[in-house]
Amino acid sequence: MLLSEVESKLKELGVGPSSEKFPYYTLPVIADPSSDPNVKPTYVAESFAIALYLDEKYPTPKYPAIFPSGTRGVQHLLVNQYLPSLITILFPLVYPKLPQFLDEVSMAYLRRTRSPEIFEPLPKEEETKKREEAQNKFAGIAKSLDFDGDDSFIMGNQPSFIDFAFGGIFFTIETLGSAQMKLIAQWHDGKWGNYWKRVQAIEANSSQVH
C-alpha cells in the first residue's frame, strides 16, 4: 500500500483517525477476526490502543502482558511526554535517508504533507552536533537504567510497551541508517546493542495466538 492510500483504505474499513486533535490515519492497524464468520473483524488503530486491546482480549497469565499491572499510565506518559524529546534529536539524523527507501509516489506525498526540508541532508557540522546531542541523551538514559543492572528492560525485568516503542525507534534507525545504529549499539559499553538484541529476540520468539 502507498502511504497516500492509508487514509482512504482505513476509512473504507471503518477505522477512525489515530488522533483526537488531527484527523490523521496511521498504520499499524490490527484486524482481530470474529469467532462468527458472518461478523467482520474488529479493527484497532494506533499502537498504544492496540496494546491495550490485546491485553484486554488476550489476558495474562495465559498470554504475555504488554503492560505489567498498574503501569499503563506511566508508560503512556513516557511514550507521549518523554519519547518525543528523544525522537526530535534522533530522526533528523536518518530522515534524509528516507528518499532512498521509499517509492516516488509516497515520497511526493510526504514532501507535500511534511516540511520538505526535513528530507534534505544535514550540513556536516550540524550532523556532528546532532550526533553528540543524541549520544549525550542516550548516555543519560543508560545511566538511569544502570540502576536496574545490565540486562533490564526499561520498566525492569519484564519487557513491556515502552520497550517496543524504543524498538520502533531503533528499527527505524537501523533501516534508514545502519551505520548510525552500529554507533548507538557501541555507546555506553554496548548497553544499547545488547538491549536492542534482547528486544529483537522477543519479536523473533513470539508465537502467534491461535
Q: Using CB under 8 A, list all residues that contact its own copies.
A: 52, 69-74, 76-78, 80-82, 85, 140-141, 143-148, 152, 154-158, 162
Alpha helices by DSSP H, 46-160: 47-57, 72-77, 83-94, 104-113, 124-145
Nearer to its own copies, 72 or 97 (CB): 72
Please say which residue, 103 or 151, places its beta carbon nearer to its own copies: 151
Q: Look-up: residue for cell 516503542?
A: 165
Nearest approach in angstroms of CB 142 to its own copies is 10
Query: What single letter denotes the amino acid at residue 189?
Result: D
Q: How far is the CB of 130 from its own copies (least distance, A)?
A: 18
Nearer residue to its own copies within complex by CB, 81 or 207: 81
User: How many CB atoms neighbour CB 181 within 10 A?
Assistant: 19
Is residue 67 within 8 Å of 161, Cβ to Cβ? yes
For residue 61, cis peptide bond before it (omega within 30 degrees of 0): yes
The count of other CB atoms within 10 Å of the CB of residue 203 is 10
User: What distance lies between CA 151 and its chain's CA centroid?
Assistant: 21
Closest CB to its own copies among residues 77, 209:
77
Cβ 184 vs Cβ 173: under 8 Å: yes
CB of 28 to its own copies, least distance (A): 20
Minimum Å gap between C-beta 166 and its own copies is 12
Least distance to its own copies, CB of residue 44, Å: 16
Nearer to its own copies, 83 or 122 (CB): 83
